A and B are shown apart, each in its own frame.
Chain A
Amino acid sequence: MLAERIQPMAYQARRIYVELMFKVLGSAFQAASEIDPEIQQEGKALPTGLLFEMKVIPDGPRMIVEHLGNGRFLSHGNNPPRPVDLSIQFKHIAHAFLVLSFQEKTSVAYAHDRMLVDGDIGYGVRMTRILNRLEAFILPKMIASRAVKQYPANLDLPEKLLTASRIYLKVATKFLKW
């Protein structure tokens, strides 16, 4: 009886968590691209104007970022200004929750067929690398190690702390503006 009452609330909480995480990730994506030269280097190979989304199909939460050129990205929240060019899609919100709550690495979710890439696979691989680097910055090492395939060996603590605080500051500023 109690479980029946709690379950819808749990589902609702899971959806809210995924929505929030997408919001944070989108903003952090933009912030990290303004700060980290490695992310900029990765992004440079992408076409300017590329619109990328990560979403839960069919019409669940999503985040949209646009490549402005030179490896810089702009977060569009969950509203694409035009049809997206590249989409990474979770098959179910439960799968997105597994990844965004760091119970399953992004690479493992791919391997488990929980996600689909619609668009140029090469760009999808590149965006996943950027996402991995972003997670390595903004998450504590213990949690980041659960999120990415391999925690970057060359990321030392001072660099991580400095970059993470700059990313969080930019994200917080953006959230305050909202």
Chain B
Amino acid sequence: MSNQFYEFFCPVKVIAGKAALEHIPYELTGLAAKRPMIITDKGVRAAGLLDPVVNACTESGLDIASIYDDVPPDSSTGVVRKIAGIYRSEQCDSIIAVGGGSAIDTAKAVNILVSEGGDDIAAYSGAGILKRALKPFFVVPTTAGTGSEVTAVAVITDIEKHVKLPFTSSFLLPNAAVIDPRMTLTLPPHITAATAMDAMTHATEAFTCMARNPLSDAYATAAIRKISDNLLKVMDNPRDADARLELAQASTMAGIAFSNSMVGLVHSLGHATGALFHLPHGLCMSLYLPYVLEYNLESIREPLGELLLYLDGPDAYAATPGNRRAEAAIASIRKLRDTLYKYCKLPRTLKETGAVREDQLDNIAELALDDGSIMFNPREVTLEDARAVLKRAWA
């Protein structure tokens, strides 16, 4: 008997499609919640994305007890403490996060404090600290990429100690993720492209890294197909609600896949680059994906070759000899990046970002080696390997 083993867990109710937001009041009532707090950021509010959420609730007689709309891009322990204070003073009983990764992570951390008590969120940092269910928590993503609505982690910066605090617990998962196409309709082209490539990377790494399993494979391949079929449609016509919904669902599916099978070197390099040069995560994912796949090629030839079916469709898959499919899959991803570059100048190399100098590649390599996701990369990555990948990704 082989040592094959896996775990798979996703208890999040996914509410997706037309008028999905209007399900929020019913779902909250089902959890005996009557005074929800909305946690979001200024950009979401300015884009008018809060209105349909608030209207959906008030129309059903459910008043929003409080709205906090000042979550910064890199949320901190101070922000979490402040929001928890407002939650308590307004006697809220549930949380709705509306936004991208930062708003969602902040809301997860606030939920810890308001459920467990206290003001020191750092006390709950780490894995498996939480032992019971938290307050009712819903997530309404406004980007189609992070997958944070279905991940059991949150990262909050402790500004005083200059460290990023990780929180890992299945109790951080929301009760429901509400995927409504209205929330991503106005996303600008470059963010649409970068976040979709983030989801593409989640799915690709989930399918090719060490902790892949049959269930995450199913989500990953379906997500890749949806992105391949719909990303360019959305770039052509940003108001295409059906294609937008497909991308948003793909993001959630890729999130389910990678939260159960983890990610690899693309994320290690991306996290390091993001931390050092403050480049958006999705941009980094798109940038490194083909170079890391080339580096891992001989360890992932079979699964990567299989992905050609989902990237380019059955005709291209059938027309490509089995021993060339992995290379064809990489070529397909490169072609997609080239097309996105034409649409919105999404950088394909580090040089194209204009934010990194060639003499800084070593800094990225060194930081990437200590990233947790490197453990799940199919090849053991040495400092020299990381440098070589970065050199290829330079220009």
Q: Please report A residues at the B interface, Cβ cutoff 8 Å.
A: 45, 98, 103-104, 107-108, 110-114, 116-119, 121-126, 128-129, 132, 148-150
Contact = CB atoms under 8 A, between A and B. Distances in A.
B372 A107 contact: no
Contacts of A119: 126
B127 A117 contact: yes
A112 B210 CA distance: 9
Contacts of B128: 116, 118
A157 to B, nearest CB: 20
B211 A111 contact: yes
Interface string B289-305: 00000000000000000
Contacts of A112: 3, 5-6, 211
Judged by DSSP, the binding face of B is loop
B259 to A, nearest CB: 12
Given A112-B6, A113-B7, A150-B379, A118 B211 contact: no
B380 A124 contact: no
Contact of B210 (A111, A114, A126): A111
- List of 6 A-B pairs having minimum Cβ-Cβ separation, nearest first: A122-B370, A150-B380, A111-B211, A121-B372, A111-B210, A149-B380
A108 B126 CA distance: 22
Contacts of B211: 110-113
Tier of interface size on chain B: 20 to 34
A111 B371 contact: no
Given A111-B210, A114-B5, A121-B372, 11 more contacts: A112-B3, A112-B5, A112-B211, A113-B7, A116-B128, A118-B128, A119-B126, A122-B372, A125-B372, A128-B375, A150-B379
A98 B376 contact: no
B372 A98 contact: no
25 contacts: A45-B370, A98-B3, A103-B3, A107-B376, A108-B3, A108-B210, A110-B210, A110-B375, A110-B376, A111-B210, A111-B262, A112-B3, A112-B5, A113-B6, A116-B128, A117-B127, A118-B126, A119-B126, A122-B370, A122-B372, A124-B372, A125-B375, A129-B369, A148-B380, A150-B380
Interface string B336-365: 000000000000000000000000000000
A45 B376 CA distance: 22
Interface in B166-187: 166
B326 interface: no
A145 to B, nearest CB: 12
Nearest to B382: A152
Nearest to B372: A121
A121 B376 contact: no
